Amino acid sequence: MSGPAIGSAPDIFLDEPQRPPLTPDSPINQNARALRPAPADLEADDRRGLSLARTVAWIILAPWYVAIAAAALGLNLMFIKNLLGL
């Protein structure tokens, strides 16, 4: 019997690569301080000022910050009270 056996898988022939393997670029550290300009280097126009919209937003949101902080503190106190069995 000179041919392949019945029920056997055909031979696999791999194609030759058409291009060389890809090489990754060198990594970039995006967190380096040298990449970010220092605040003194920014021009006056680039600095964020206290605008009317920002002031109004703080007036509206400040009570929410206080309410969330009070609720969190209250939950912590209730947990400690129950933990100590008071």
The model's pLDDT over 23-69, given as tens digits with 9 standing for 90+, comes to 777 777 766 655 555 566 555 555 566 788 888 888 999 999 999 99
Could you state, in order of their start, the residue ranges of all structural domains in the chain?
A: 51-86
d(Cα 59, Cα 51) in Å, to the nearest integer?
Answer: 13
pTM above 0.85, yes or no: no
Phi, psi of 24 (to 5 degrees): -70, 150
- What pLDDT shows up at residue 18? 75
